[in-house]
Structure 1
Amino acid sequence: MKEIVVGVSVAERAGLLAVRWAAEQAVARRTRLRLLHVVDEAIEASGDADLLLAVIDAARESLAVAAEAARAVDPSLEIVSDLEQGSPITHFEQRSRDAELLVVASDSHGGKRPSRRGVHSLRIAAASHAPVAVVPDIDVSARSGVAVGIDGSDVGARALEFAAGEAERLGCPLIAVHAWDLALMAGGEYGYGVSAFAMDDLTRAAHEVLADALAPLERSRPGLEIDRRVVAGDPVIALADAAAEAELLVVGSHGRGALARFLLGSVSHGVLARLEAPTVVVR
């Protein structure tokens, strides 16, 4: 059975926000919610039995609090709680194989403030077989819109479909963003600059990429409101700017090669490093 899996750590507000966000997703998708808490293998490796027992007791309490928060979203929601020991990355990777969505928390408050959990969420997102939602401690209740990065690729198309479904569910506009970095084009990285004619050509090409990507969506979801944005600049900054006014950001990840399980593409990595809204990475 497909399910929503959420990592549970309710010691901070972000942990409960992630649980509630995951519960809302499970209700909307009419699927089961799995609460997962992993006691890191380093605790057992310490050899301190009293510490291990204390951590396990705290984990059980966290799961109980998380279950209560999820039931507050919908009392009829089916909830399964798992307490595991070992490598968190390994356990999340295994659970992601049968998940519709994996949800983890981040203690980011927006911008570039680093956090240890932020690094953890990057590793989980890179290893996951399912889309991963990283939920920061940011209030988006006054915002409207689902932002999505468009690049014309197959993984970009999957991200677009996910974002469109969320925009329809939330009853809000889809903010479709296509950005390119001029420094990587036409010798710009060597300081030669870009002529006005080349700039016009690049702008037209960018609009064509966006139009081509959105054409199937316009046919399949004719009632969806779409805000089209073409930005000449760093894609990470363009997407972060769009996310700062949206309630959700969706990006595709282009991790490649033998290390793809452990790496995200540069854009998806960049937006997770500077969270401005709950962000879903689709692979």
Structure 2
Amino acid sequence: MNEITVDEIAVGVSTGGSATMRAVRWAAERASTLGSTLRLVHVIDEAPADREGAEATSGETPGAADGRSRECLDEAAAVVADVDPGIETVTTLERGNAVDVFERISAEASMLVVGSDWHDGRRASRRRVLSLRIAAVSQTAVAVIPDLEPVGRRGVVVGVDGSHASDHALAFAADEAERLGEPLIAVHSWDVVAMVGGEYGYGAPLIATDDLARAEAEILETALAPVVAAHPGLEVQRVVVAGDPVNDLTEAAIEARLLVVGSHGRGALARFLLGSVSQGVLADLVAPTVVLR
């Protein structure tokens, strides 16, 4: 099996669905700019086809399944060549559980990219659930690409809450915004009820909303200070809003080129869980979204 290098972007290539090829194109454009190697990965899950995330191979001989998979990889390679024929591209056909395969790959890849074709309030498909599970187990950044037209979108949106994970996401988003020539849209969303202990107005300390707003704005400014210093020419838009972080980030990203969030998944179940915000934005995918651990 070929080794994976740290400057390699790995892309999940599944059979059927335009979201997969959008993901391949997105990854190819990134690889072309960064000079990264691109690995196109297709996983044949030989478990029963009704298992969540499994490729449907029931009724096919191993040879037929391999042939269909190779055709899918060839189609993806053609998309890469259309973006930039100079990209070093490797195709890999794997067997096993897709989540396990991508978890292993994530230990050495610089980024995983997967497609998701569930958006605009439609019911979750198995592929959508699979992308969430891959994001949860990944040891590297994961980009989940929806089947949405990218033309006319503007800005890199990032969620900021002052945490270490948020700082990591903010630094990544600023680099991406500068690379893409886009404004950075930093969103800090805070919950009044949570800030006063969940019983606002009924026994909890009365804190003026204006004072809270100023304090929350200061959190955003503190987080942004090193980013502004490192990227002096970058356009930065600040959004401080009292509300639900998932809803506010989703609203800010509806017309964005990219959404970036840090994951707060941690503890004994961290391998299987994302933080509530990253889980929420992936469950209502409105833009290409990168989740960072």
**TM-score grouping bracket, smaller chain normalisation:** over 0.9
Following superposition, the deviation at residue 198 of structure 1 comes to: 2.6
Separation of aligned partners in 2, 1:50 and 1:247: 40
Separation of aligned partners in 1, 2:188 and 2:219: 8
Counterpart residue number, 1:55: 65
Q: 1:6 aligns with which of 11, 26, 30?
A: 11
Counterpart residue number, 2:262: 252
Q: Which residue identity does 1:177 align to in structure 2?
A: V
Q: So what's the TM-score if we normalise by structure 2? A: 0.91
The unaligned stretches of length 5 or more in structure 2 are: none
Q: Do the aligned residues in 2 keep the contact of 1:10 with 1:65 (CA within 8 Å)?
A: no
Q: 1:210 aligns with which of 212, 216, 220?
A: 220
Counterpart residue number, 1:235: 245
Counterpart residue number, 2:166: 156
Q: Which residue identity does 1:90 align to in structure 2?
A: D
Q: 1:265 aligns with which of 254, 263, 275?
A: 275
Q: So what's the TM-score if we normalise by structure 1? A: 0.94
Counterpart residue number, 1:39: 44
- After alignment, is 41-50 or 142-151 more displaced? 41-50
Separation of aligned partners in 2, 1:48 and 1:25: 35
Separation of aligned partners in 1, 2:249 and 2:209: 21
Q: Do the aligned residues in 2 keep the contact of 1:113 with 1:274 (CA within 8 Å)?
A: no
- Say which SS state the counterpart of residue 132 (structure 2) adopts: helix
Q: 1:24 aligns with which of 21, 24, 29?
A: 29
Q: Which residue identity does 1:141 align to in structure 2?
A: V
Following superposition, the deviation at residue 111 of structure 1 comes to: 3.9
Separation of aligned partners in 1, 2:113 and 2:57: 31
Separation of aligned partners in 1, 2:263 and 2:198: 25
CA deviations 1:72-118 (Å, max 9, x no partner) are 10010000000011010011011111111100000023346422211
Q: Which residue identity does 1:154 align to in structure 2?
A: H
- After alignment, is 179-188 or 49-58 more displaced? 49-58
Separation of aligned partners in 1, 2:81 and 2:139: 27
Separation of aligned partners in 1, 2:57 and 2:83: 39
- Say which SS state the counterpart of residue 256 (structure 2) adopts: coil
Q: Do the aligned residues in 1 keep the contact of 2:200 with 2:206 (CA within 8 Å)?
A: no
Aligned residues with identical type, % of pairs: 57
Q: Do the aligned residues in 1 keep the contact of 2:148 with 2:287 (CA within 8 Å)?
A: yes
Residue 86 to residue 67, structure 1, CA distance change in 2 (3 Å): same
Residue 187 to residue 141, structure 1, CA distance change in 2 (3 Å): same
CA RMSD of aligned residues (A): 2.1
The unaligned stretches of length 5 or more in structure 1 are: none
Q: Do the aligned residues in 1 keep the contact of 2:102 with 2:134 (CA within 8 Å)?
A: yes
Counterpart residue number, 1:138: 148
Q: Do the aligned residues in 1 keep the contact of 2:153 with 2:256 (CA within 8 Å)?
A: yes
Counterparts of 1:62-101 in structure 2 under 5 Å? 62-101=72-111
Q: 1:201 aligns with which of 211, 233, 237?
A: 211
Following superposition, the deviation at residue 226 of structure 1 comes to: 0.3
Separation of aligned partners in 2, 1:54 and 1:192: 66
1:183 equivalenced with 2:193 (yes/no): yes
Following superposition, the deviation at residue 190 of structure 1 comes to: 6.7
Counterpart residue number, 1:166: 176
Separation of aligned partners in 2, 1:114 and 1:251: 21
Following superposition, the deviation at residue 231 of structure 1 comes to: 1.0
Q: 2:235 aligns with which of 210, 225, 247?
A: 225
Separation of aligned partners in 2, 1:85 and 1:223: 47
- Say which SS state the counterpart of residue 63 (structure 1) adopts: helix
> In the comparison of the two structures, how many residue pairs are matched?
283
1:123 equivalenced with 2:133 (yes/no): yes
